Amino acid sequence: MNVLEEMKALQAEMTAWRHDFHRHPEIGFEEHRTSASIAGILEGFGFEVHRNIGGTGVVARLQNGRSRQSIGLRADMDALPIQEANDFGHRSTVSGRMHACGHDGHMASLLGAARYLSNSRRFDGVVNLIFQPAEEGLGGASAMMDDGLFERFPCEAVFGFHNEPNLPVGKFSIRPGPMLAGGAFFDVLVTGRGSHAGYPEHSIDPVLTACHIVTALQSITSRNISALDAAVISVTRIEAGEAYNVVPDRAVIRGSARWFKPEVLRIIQGNLQRVASSVAAAFGATAEVDFRTIFTPLVNWADETRFVADVAAELVGDANVNRDRDLIMASEDFAFMLGKVPGAYIHMGNGSSANLHNPSYEFNDQALPYAAALYVGLVERRLSALA
């Protein structure tokens, strides 16, 4: 029986773990129940478990044989502040929280690999399982590294994966070099002058001003950045006022920006400030911009990309592994780990599903054995599998 078939035999157990995580979602740096559950399971498998790394992170270490070769396998743990729209039995029990990005499946897959590795021991070296908190824009990877992640648990290479909706189960995609965009969050505070809504001539309307700023911001990608360079500016929230009959004093615009090249980041940041201030001034208002870089672009190392693609091809056949996929405009906290340690990040098919960060999203349990088998294959290939 090959590794994939053996992992399929563990699918029911992995599914039970995932459904438990899905029912009890916790957002970044609040993953107390999640990390305690993970730590308990791994201790039961015989791993050396370290808790509270970078806040709520967990690192589990397993050594076999005499070699000092080492590998890191990472899964993210946090959920999102989204109200779930699904109605199945394992839907979220926490109002306004759900696993809308599949981190429940990422954790369950890595636990499945841990169970297999603890029993098989077909490797010579050290395996470090990294369960990371706060991937969704809160800096969990950096927090773990600031807490000495790679000094305390050295890894010669580190690997991670993400599920990809609408890529068939059993297919993988990756590319060497830049793959996922850098990301920033921004807030624009628009200050005007409030008034009675029946006398708008007495106001400097920050809502009207904010609407014009939102429209004008799209000119940055269409008119300031080359069409050959990838860039996205998305306004995701506008907040203003508390009453129907009051023009408020202030409005706040919130959103995110994505890029790959440093020079594109500079254009976005500089022009966002210029556009917001100038449009506000045209209406007699003012605009203050807070622009925060949250993610660096994720850059896969060439040798490790080839390695993880080869392992995936051994599982599903080379025809099911896309080694030169398109760039992805989403961002990923794992980029910071790849900035310090060689490694690679691969996408894996989730089948037909709602998109990530959608209230109807659901991780596909049929994908669990493929992710777990990939993790196992990386260990057994990288750490000179024992007979």
DSSP assignment of 231-286: EEEEEEEEEE-S-TTEE-SEEEEEEEEEESSHHHHHHHHHHHHHHHHHHHHHTT-E
Tell me the pTM.
Answer: 0.94
**Residues with Cβ < 8 Å from 68, sequence gap 6 or more?**
125, 126
In a domain, 222, yes or no: yes
Q: Are residues 112 and 221 in the same domain?
A: no
User: What share of residues in the chain are helix, strand, coil (percent, to 5)?
Assistant: 40, 25, 35
Structure-block tokens of residue 241: 């006022």
| Contact present, 384 and 70 (Cβ < 8 Å) | no
Amino acid at residue number 366? Q
Question: Which helix (DSSP H) or strand (DSSP E) does residue 39 occupy?
Answer: helix 32-44
Amino acid at residue number 342? P
- CATH of residue 289's domain is 3.30.70.360
Domain boundary among 277, 295, 313: 295
Q: Are residues 210 and 89 in the same domain?
A: no
Phi/psi class of residue 179: alpha, beta or left (left: φ > 0; alpha: ψ in -120 to 50)? alpha
In a domain, 117, yes or no: yes
In a domain, 387, yes or no: no
Distances, alpha carbon 91 to alpha carbons 77, 85, 361, 368, 376, in Å: 17, 9, 11, 18, 29
Dist. CA 115–CA 59, nearest whole Å = 15
- CATH of residue 367's domain is 3.40.630.10
Question: Which helix (DSSP H) or strand (DSSP E) does residue 289 occupy?
Answer: strand 286-295
Q: Are residues 201 and 303 in the same domain?
A: no
Q: Are residues 283 and 340 in the same domain?
A: no
Q: In what order do the strands lie in the sheet with 48-53?
A: 48-53, 57-64, 125-132, 70-76, 158-164, 343-349, 172-173, 321-322
Tens-digit pLDDT profile for the chain (387 aa)? 689 999 999 999 999 999 999 999 999 999 999 999 999 999 999 999 999 999 999 999 999 999 999 999 999 999 999 999 999 999 999 999 999 999 999 999 999 999 999 999 999 999 999 999 999 999 999 999 999 999 999 999 999 999 999 999 999 999 999 999 999 999 999 999 999 999 999 999 999 999 999 999 999 999 999 999 999 999 999 999 999 999 999 999 999 999 999 999 999 999 999 999 999 999 999 999 999 999 999 999 999 999 999 999 999 999 999 999 999 999 999 999 999 999 999 999 999 999 999 999 999 999 999 999 999 999 999 998 654
